[in-house]
A and B are shown apart, each in its own frame.
Chain A
Amino acid sequence: MRRLIRQGEHEINHILSGEDEILPSSGFAVTVMHAVRRQAAAPPPIPFPWKRALPGLLGAGLAVALILAEGVMAIARFGRTSATAQSSSPLPSLMPLVFHGRTESAAIWAALALLVTLVSVKFSMRLATDRAQG
């Protein structure tokens, strides 16, 4: 059995290593060199404008940090409120404090988010226009 398997493997080795070679078509090297030259002539990719983007990125980071801090504080407040409510009332309000009387602050955050989006869109469009003209 082992001998038969070896024989079969030898057969497969013989077949797979003896595959016919195909020749490149006549214009292949020319086509490749044409593509290479085109690529060499293309302008290098535009680097990311870190200097200009840094203030925006810092501002966005700060905003995210503020939102997270506000969220954590709201959760902590809710925890305290629900603990107090559980001890004083048999049917505590299921609506957390966050949703009571907070529509104004939610609206402010939404407006701020929209404003940041608008500014970043305008800013990136201006950058792209400057690049295209310059």
Chain B
Amino acid sequence: MSSSDDQADVERVLAGDVSAFEGIVLRWQGPLINLAYRFCRDRGRAEELAQEAFLRAYRSLAQWRKDAVFSTFLFALATNLYRSELRRIPARIVSVSLDSIAEPADARAYDGGLEDQDRDLAVRRAVDTLPAKYREALILFYFHDLNISTAARSLGLPEGTVKARLSRGRELLRAKLPRLFAVPHLKEA
């Protein structure tokens, strides 16, 4: 994905060539849908949210200041939309109590009886049950390949705040998944 392609398409759209927006859609549909999916865990809704994000991007293309790359602008806009939409209509994430999460008996025993899928599901469900501000920080951090500054720009927050939220989020995850960390009672330890 080249940022010069994005810039060229944006300039064409702003000059009145609506069809140039298709290049932007084709380049960014995957990332935007996947980001939305991580927020709502519903494929249909993820596409609806991504479509709304593209429409909003189209409406506010003129506001893109070219000192930042287009993807930063697009992800910040999409993240903002996803967060507000999911606050308005929360995702129908299977609300499992933490006790009912099928936590692996021994997460490190890859060759043992542990099903990797169950372990992954347990971790993702635990993330889904976190308070929004920690969940959002974790989602963005992992979506942007563990890049704190990109996650911070997408969330519109200072890096320090994102670091603090990640740290607290991980702490909560440790408390929710004690066996994964092989620490039965972290607070008492």
Interfacial residues, chain A to chain B (CB-CB below 8 A): 1, 4-5, 7-9, 11-13, 15-17, 19, 21-25, 28-29, 31-33, 35-37, 39-40
| Neighbour of A9 across the interface among B37, B108, B170, CB < 8 A | B170
User: Does the CB pair B146–A5 fall under 8 Å?
Assistant: no
In this assembly, does B69 line the interface, its C-beta being within 8 Å of a C-beta of chain A? no
| Neighbour of B180 across the interface among A8, A22, A25, A35, CB < 8 A | A8
- CB-CB nearest in chain A for B121: A15
Chain B interfacial residues counted at CB < 8 A: 41
Cα distance A17–B142 when bound, in Å? 5
Chain B contact residues: helix, strand, loop or mixed: helix
Cα distance A17–B151 when bound, in Å? 13
Q: Which 5 A-B pairs have the closest CB atoms?
A: A8-B181, A16-B142, A24-B29, A40-B18, A15-B123
User: Does the CB pair B58–A39 fall under 8 Å?
Assistant: yes
Cα distance A5–B108 when bound, in Å? 12
Q: What are 10 residue pairs bridging A and B, where the CB atoms are less than 8 Å apart in the complex?
A: A1-B189, A11-B180, A21-B34, A23-B30, A24-B30, A28-B29, A29-B26, A36-B21, A36-B55, A40-B18
| Neighbour of B174 across the interface among A5, A16, A28, CB < 8 A | A5
User: Does the CB pair B51–A31 fall under 8 Å?
Assistant: yes
In this assembly, does B22 line the interface, its C-beta being within 8 Å of a C-beta of chain A? yes
User: Does the CB pair A37–B29 fall under 8 Å?
Assistant: no
